[in-house]
Amino acid sequence: MSNLKGGYADRTDRVADAPAYNWVYRWLPRGVWPYAQLARWDRPIGWQLLLWPCWWSAALAPQAVVPSAVHTGLPSLWHLFLFLVGAIAMRGAGCTYNDLVDQKIDEAVARTRSRPLPSGRVSRLQAKLFLVIQALVGFLVLLQFNAFAILLGIASLATVAIYPFLKRFTDWPQLGLGLAFSWGALMGWAAHWGGLALPAFLLYAAAILWTIGYDTIYAHQDKEDDALVGVRSTARLFGRHTRKALTVLYLGAVGLFLAAFLTTGSAAGAGPSWPAYAALAIGAVQMLWQILSLDIDDGDQCLDLFKSNSMFGWILFFGLVFSTLWSLSFPPLAI
């Protein structure tokens, strides 16, 4: 029989690589725990990484015009809230869908066989119903945006649908994850402007490279089991050359972030000011720390480095916000 002591879930209720002590086990009824695990509510790093491209784009888009008394250049708090709710809902829906597709693979992998579906704590029908509920929440959030952003959000479902199958056919499933997880870089811009422009596409490309990098680190936890069951990944592809590959990926991401900032200025004085570029430099140092610290044979360290990418997200976001605050405090001189 399972029990909970001080917020801890015992082994019969746990997922192997999830924290035993979590708000899920303190505040939610025990019958809800398997669904919370399906949605990964006990592991917030996933929705955080999904959220960051949305928030970056929402913070960058207003800086395409000169801040003024009418237009502050700051991101919309309403949009930030919607992206937060949407990221949690759609990350949960995506994980539930992924678990449905990958149930047999998860049964064969040590780290994942304790998940609710392969362990039998949730039936496939129950998981499908839970998937629908989460998707409906995400759709209600999407309806709060303009028509262009709504259509753009619906289009993202193509990348979500194909991602779980890529590990069977290509060494680059992380690219598929990047296409899906980085879509927010387009959504934030579209929500603000009702259309897309070059900086949004550059930001999207930067986020894709960043995602491939951090998910390669994550995938090194499973490379032995993946080899046994025939699952492909960039971790297996890069192998001992992972540090070199990460250097290329992260350097490319930094270059594309820089290009997105530079091309956002469409008028005299427009575009991010120095705090955004300073934050990008600090973020580059954080990326370098990941590369130099990485031990691909240490699964726990790989997980910690993967999680550290939320710090990179905060750095870049606050840099963009402080960029606007600086421009408001010290507006550029008209020529």
**pLDDT top residue among 83 and 21:** 83
pTM value is 0.90
% residues pLDDT > 70 (the chain) = 90
pLDDT, average across residues 107-116: 80
The most confident of the ranges 21-30, 60-69, 245-254 is 245-254
Query: What are the structural domains, with CATH classification, of the chain?
Result: 33-329 (1.10.357.140)
The predicted structure's pLDDT at residue 265: 78
pLDDT, average across residues 277-305: 96
The most confident of the ranges 16-20, 73-77, 250-254, 297-301 is 250-254
- Residue 1, pLDDT > 60, answer no
Please, what is the Cα angle at 253 between 251 and 257, to 5 degrees? Answer: 120
Give 281's pLDDT tier (boundaries 50, 70, 90): very high
The most confident of the ranges 165-169, 176-180, 228-232, 268-272 is 176-180
Return left, alpha or beta for 73; rule: phi > 0 is left, psi -120 to 50 is alpha, else beta: left
- Partner residues linked to 8 by β-bridges: 5, 21
* Inter-axis angle of helices 242-264 and 274-293, nearest 10: 170
- Judge contact between 221 and 299, C-beta under 8 A: yes
**pLDDT top residue among 2 and 271:** 271
pLDDT, average across residues 58-84: 85
| Contacts of 267 by beta carbon, 8 Å cutoff, 6+ apart | 65, 66
- Residue 7, pLDDT > 70, answer no
